[in-house]
A = this chain, B = another copy of it.
Amino acid sequence: MNIGEIARRAGVSRSTVSYALSGKRPVSEDTRRKIQQVVDELGYQPSASARALANGRTSTIGLVFPPAGNHYTGMQLDFIGSVVEAAAAYDYDVLLSPSGMDSDRSFQRLLGERRVDGAILMEIRLEDDRADHLAALGFPSVAIGRTAHPEDGWYVGLDHTALAAACVHHLADLGHRRVAFVNRPEQLLRTGYESAHRGLDGFTKAAAERGLTVRTYCCGDDAAAGQACVERILHDDPATTALVTLNEAALGGLYRGLAHAGRHVPRDFSITGIVANRWAETVTPQLTAADVPAAEMGRLAVDLLVERLDNSDAPPRQHLLIPPISLRASTGPAGSPQT
C-alpha cells in the first residue's frame, strides 16, 4: 500500500504516480485515469511521515499552552477549539504541547525534532522565553497575547489595559468610588502573565484618573477562592461597592461571596470584568463585561500563522482587539455608601 505498489499495478513508475497525484507535472489523461483508478481501488493515501521527510513540511502546527495544574479556563478551551477548526480548514493538523517554559522537554521536541511547521503560543507572559526563543530562531510562530515588546512579533492580542480601563470608567460613570480588582492567582502575576499585568495596569491607571479608591487582590482560579476573596474585600473595606475581575473561574465564587454577605447584585454591589461570554451569561444576574472573543482570536491566530508560513519573509502582523463592554445585568448605580 505504498506508492511503489500503486506504480506497479498501474504499470508506470513511482515518479509518474507522484506527479499524477500532485499535478506538479503534466501527465497524460490516460495514465492519470489509470492511476486514479488503482488509487481508488486500494484506498491509497500517501504516508504523512514520508511526505514530511521528503518535502520538509509536516503540515502540522503546534499549539503551546501551559500544563494543567493551574486549571484550564473556559477561554483556553475556546482557543483550542477554534484553532483546531481553523487549522483544519487550511489542511493543517494541530499538535498540542503542554509547556510553560522554553526548557520544557515537550517544547524542545516540537522544535528540535521538527514536528511542526509553526507554532501558536497561548498564555503569553510579558517576558516570555518561549516567544524570545522562537523569535531568535526565526521559527514561524504567532502569540495569543502580547509580550512587553510586541512591535516586532506576530500576535493576536486583547488590549487588557484598555478593557480594564473601560470597566473602571463604566463603574465610575455609575458613581462608584470604592472599587476592588480581582486578578488571577498571585503566582501568575509573579511569573509575568500578560493579561494579569496589563489588566491590573489599566485598572490602576484609570482608577487614579477618576480619583477612585481602590484595592487590588489576587485570587485562585476556582469558586472557593473567589468566595474567600470577596470576604477579604468586604472585610478590608466594607464600603466597597463594585469590583472588576478577569478571573472567570472565580466568578461563581465571587457571586456566592456577595450573596453570603447579603449584598445584592446589582442593587448593593456592581461587578464587571473581562470574561468569555459563555461565563458572563452563566451567572445570575448575567455579567456586564468585556467579552473575550476567544473563538475569533484563535481563528485570527491561525490565519496569521498560515500567512507567515506561506510567505516566510512577510513583515510581522498583529491584531489587537478591543471588544466593547456588553451591558448585561450585573452593574448599576452606586447606592448610598454603607458603613
Contact = CB atoms under 8 A, between A and B. Distances in A.
Nearest to A282: B252
A47 B95 CA distance: 16
Given A93-B96, A96-B84, A47 B53 contact: yes
A110 B60 CA distance: 12
A105 B87 CA distance: 13
A84 B284 CA distance: 34
A48 B109 contact: yes
A43 B114 contact: no
Interface in A95-153: 95-98, 105-106, 108-110, 112-115
Interface string A240-265: 00000000010111011001000000
A288 interface: no
A183 interface: no
Contacts of A114: 47-49
Contacts of A224: 281
A273 to B, nearest CB: 15
A248 to B, nearest CB: 10
B109 A85 contact: no
Interface residues on A, range: 35 or more
Contact of A80 (B49, B74, B96): B96
B84 A93 contact: no
Given A50-B53, A278-B222, A282-B252, A93 B67 contact: no
Interface of A: 43, 45-53, 58, 60, 63, 67-68, 71-72, 74, 76-78, 80-82, 84-85, 88, 93-98, 105-106, 108-110, 112-115, 222-224, 249, 251-253, 255-256, 259, 278, 281-284, 286, 295
